[in-house]
Chains A and B, each alone.
Chain A
Amino acid sequence: DTGVSQDPRHKITKRGQNVTFRCDPISEHNRLYWYRQTLGQGPEFLTYFQNEAQLEKSRLLSDRFSAERPKGSFSTLEIQRTEQGDSAMYLCASSPQGSTEAFFGQGTRLTVV
């Protein structure tokens, strides 16, 4: 197992375009999290899945942000109508049931121009 995998690693997009990021968690981990990290700051929680159920989504930054985890395995985070303020690192993390440790991916760095 190679850990949490995120794709792409970097994304440059024009303002107004839609973007989608993918996260593949560690295979036996049923919990999956998305965070956003802006330059020089700590990660900020966005949303949480337990298996395929999205149990917490109130922290998504706006209705332009949405996430899915259709089969309880990989997850996607979509940002519609991107804005320059969306430029950040988007981190995915997973953890197994009963553990407090989060395993992070390397992130997707989004630049909106």
Chain B
Amino acid sequence: AQTVTQSQPEMSVQEAETVTLSCTYDTSENNYYLFWYKQPPSRQMILVIRQEAYKQQNATENRFSVNFQKAAKSFSLKISDSQLGDTAMYFCAFMKRYSNAGNMLTFGGGTRLMVKP
């Protein structure tokens, strides 16, 4: 079984600054994906960024980038130039690559990020 841990329940950042959200995971799998999902207040969860475990290069999506350390089982999210619209719950999630449960996601407990003006 997989576990995902987010050790920062809440964080805040000033608008335009950079913030890093932490995530660690535990698995015996070698083929998997890692994700960061964003859940804005009262809105649906959306995908922020995805990382394939077999790729050494860290994924980037505009202002969002990850630091993937496979040996350490660490997967942090960096948000640059934070914007007010980045205020949300952020969930780190794990997906086994080949699973009877399709694309089943195992989520961490979440980090509530507040961007302050």
Binds A, one of B11-19, B58-66, B74-82, B95-103: B95-103
Name the one of A41, A55, A56, A102 contacting B105, with C-beta atoms under 8 angstroms: A102
Cβ of A8 under 8 Å from chain B: no
- Complex: A66 Cα to B47 Cα, angstroms: 27
Cβ of A21 under 8 Å from chain B: no
- Complex: A48 Cα to B101 Cα, angstroms: 6
Chain B residues near A41: list those with CB within 8 A. 109-110
Nearest CB of chain A from residue B40's CB, rounded to whole Å: 11
A91 & B45 in contact (Cβ 8 Å cutoff): yes
Q: How large is the interface on A (under 10, 10 to 19, 20 to 34, 35 or more residues)?
A: 20 to 34
With contact pairs A42-B4, A45-B101, A55-B102 given, residues A3 and B108 touching in the complex (Cβ less than 8 Å): no
Binds B, one of A11-19, A70-78, A103-111: A103-111
Q: Mark B6-44, 1 if CB is under 8 A from A, else 0.
A: 100100000000000000000000000101010000111
B47 & A101 in contact (Cβ 8 Å cutoff): yes
A40 & B50 in contact (Cβ 8 Å cutoff): no
B103 & A31 in contact (Cβ 8 Å cutoff): yes
Nearest CB of chain B from residue A78's CB, rounded to whole Å: 20
- Complex: A107 Cα to B101 Cα, angstroms: 21
Report 28 cross-chain contacts, Cβ distance below 8 Å, ordered by A residue.
A40-B110, A41-B109, A42-B4, A42-B91, A42-B93, A42-B107, A42-B109, A42-B110, A43-B45, A43-B91, A43-B107, A45-B105, A45-B106, A48-B102, A50-B102, A55-B100, A55-B101, A55-B102, A59-B101, A93-B45, A95-B102, A99-B103, A100-B33, A100-B35, A100-B50, A100-B95, A102-B105, A106-B44
